[in-house]
Structure 1
Amino acid sequence: MKFTPPVFEVKNLFYQANGQKILQNIALSVLPGDYCAIIGPNGGGKTTLIRLLLGLETPTQGEIKLFGQDLGRFKRWDKIGYVPQRAAQLDQNFPATVLEVVKMGCISKQGLFKRMRPEDKVAVHEAMVKMDVLDIQDKLIGELSGGQRQRVMIARALASKPEVLILDEPNTGVDVVSQQRFYKLLRELNRQENMTIIFITHDIGVIVDDIGRLFTINQTLLTCNNPKEAISCEDMSKLYGIDAHLIHNHHHH
């Protein structure tokens, strides 16, 4: 049995900014194929944690490993697809077509001016098919609805054929039908392609049946391997100041 290291492994992680303690003593590991949700109050450090995992911020203390390698030495960023906050609200006037934006997903690994290899073109095409944006590939980003833009940004993240997809509250400004379609897609990526998914969200009710693990972050971390149990747990809402009404399960099958 070959040992596969965790996708992310974090130990003893502290982060301070401007004298404020934002994250304290976080330890977590995310395994290949996990579907994790991260919830917690605004300002609790969820986005900061993701930025630390991606090397966009430097921890005050602690150790972060990606695929078994120290973050400082990690080079394979194409393995990680990232859809940042408010991706669906991208600058309306950004003068790029859908195809151009999705191609950017391959550029990170190639450098800006290298020509796309044939396999990159295939990956871009597949990502657009998967996200159902092929028929709008020549439209400008500014002409799209929030739901369409969201799908374009996820296609962009998928274009580098990542093993991990990290989404930071991707549903801001997206209608409910688009959201449901999006959850279904994530579920398929996770189950059929064994993609590891880390999903920051305010509302875990809608995906509680899909996720395997729940991380609650409010400076410190509460981990839960059975999200359904956490949701019935009132202590959690008290402890973390999360609105209980956000958390109840309103999935209709």
Structure 2
Amino acid sequence: MQLKFKVPIFNVQNLCFEVMGQKILNHINFNIFGGEYIAIIGPNGGGKTTLIRLLLGLEKPTSGVINIFGKKQKKFKEWHKIGYVPQRASLVDQNFPATVEDIVKMGRVAKRENLFISSKEDAKVVDDVMKKMDISHLKDKMIGTLSGGQRQRVMIARALASSPEILILDEPNTGVDVKSQHRFYELLRKLNREDGITILFITHDVGVIVDDIARLFTINQKATICNNPKQALSCEEMSELYGIEAHLIHNHKHEHLG
């Protein structure tokens, strides 16, 4: 896809993050441009989720610079431009007292001048994203009664309700069956290619999406940016990244890291 912005959405320079003297991320540098489709992989504890939280301003870096749409992160106010689906977002308490429509409407709050008054535009956007995610028929269902795949689509709809330019997802397939996982990746491809939404997501399903992603970020304290994801998926390089012997396992025309 042709990149939409000369100014990067995220410009990260020498980003470091430590907790009690332990280095979690060490001198990370990268740019993310509009229209990109990027996957982040790496071992547990390697800093993937921490990186996402730093980009979103949910954690403060020990040192380094994060610019968002050309502005220093501290001065950036247009957070509705960034949609976020956190880790385990689809794992909802069965008794949570909210309908599908209620959950999706929450995504409009960042766009409103008045937090308590919704507009016709809000209603239309909520309607549109529910149709896009194929959940309109579920709008009156309680969120806790849905399957993992359905809840996943609801959480993406909520993130899309703010009309973001970039969608960030942290291991969104947790607790979701294999059939729903494949449907999910097809959905991401469509959002990127047809709607022009920049996609950045953490995953362990590397082989499934290698044909689609434009760049691959490997994170294990330091970041390696790979512009040829297929080339990066050698067993030797994956073994070095994860610190164990890795094998690429073929499964129904897809490859998985095992």
TM-score by length of 1: 0.94
Alpha-carbon distance in 2 for matches of 1:203, 1:38? 10
Is residue 209 from structure 1 mapped to residue 214 from structure 2 by the alignment? no
User: Following TM superposition, by how much is the alpha carbon of 1:240 offset from its aligned partner in structure 2, in angstroms?
Assistant: 3.7
The residue type equivalent to 2:62 in the other structure is T
Deviations 1:12-50 (A, max 9, x none): 000011221100000011111110000000000000000
How is 1:142-221 mapped onto 2 (pairs within 5 angstroms)?
142-221=144-223
Deviations 1:56-79 (A, max 9, x none): 000000000111111101111111
| Counterpart in the other structure of 1:252 | 253
CA contact (8 A) 1:208 1:249 kept: no
CA contact (8 A) 2:87 2:172 kept: yes
The residue type equivalent to 1:7 in the other structure is I
| Counterpart in the other structure of 1:116 | 118
CA contact (8 A) 2:235 2:246 kept: no
| SS of 1:87 mapped into structure 2 | coil
Which deviates further from its counterpart, 100-109 or 112-121?
Answer: 112-121
CA contact (8 A) 2:34 2:198 kept: yes
Deviations 1:141-179 (A, max 9, x none): 111111110010000001111110001000011111111
Identity of aligned residues (%): 64
In structure 2, relative to structure 1, the CA distance for the partners of 1:22 and 1:132 (3 Å cut) is same
CA contact (8 A) 1:206 1:251 kept: no
How is 1:8-27 mapped onto 2 (pairs within 5 angstroms)?
8-27=10-29
User: Following TM superposition, by how much is the alpha carbon of 1:251 offset from its aligned partner in structure 2, in angstroms?
Assistant: 6.3
The residue type equivalent to 2:69 in the other structure is F
Deviations 1:204-250 (A, max 9, x none): 111111100000000011110110000026134224426633x5565
User: Following TM superposition, by how much is the alpha carbon of 1:122 offset from its aligned partner in structure 2, in angstroms?
Assistant: 1.2
| Counterpart in the other structure of 1:71 | 73
CA contact (8 A) 2:42 2:241 kept: no
In structure 2, relative to structure 1, the CA distance for the partners of 1:3 and 1:125 (3 Å cut) is closer
| SS of 1:114 mapped into structure 2 | coil
CA contact (8 A) 1:84 1:168 kept: yes
| Corresponding residue pairs, total | 251
How is 1:45-64 mapped onto 2 (pairs within 5 angstroms)?
45-64=47-66
Deviations 1:116-156 (A, max 9, x none): 12222111111100111100100001111111100100000
The residue type equivalent to 1:132 in the other structure is D
Q: Give the root-mean-square deviation of aligned CA atoms.
A: 1.8
| Counterpart in the other structure of 1:82 | 84
In structure 2, relative to structure 1, the CA distance for the partners of 1:121 and 1:242 (3 Å cut) is farther
| Counterpart in the other structure of 1:127 | 129
| Counterpart in the other structure of 1:44 | 46
Higher helix share: 1
Which deviates further from its counterpart, 28-37 or 89-98?
Answer: 89-98
Structure 2's unaligned 5+ residue stretches are: none
Give the counterpart of 1:222 among 224, 245, 257.
Answer: 224
Alpha-carbon distance in 1 for matches of 2:139, 2:169? 22
Alpha-carbon distance in 2 for matches of 1:250, 1:204? 12
| Counterpart in the other structure of 1:29 | 31
User: Following TM superposition, by how much is the alpha carbon of 1:111 offset from its aligned partner in structure 2, in angstroms?
Assistant: 6.6
TM-score by length of 2: 0.92
In structure 2, relative to structure 1, the CA distance for the partners of 1:27 and 1:249 (3 Å cut) is farther
The residue type equivalent to 1:155 in the other structure is A
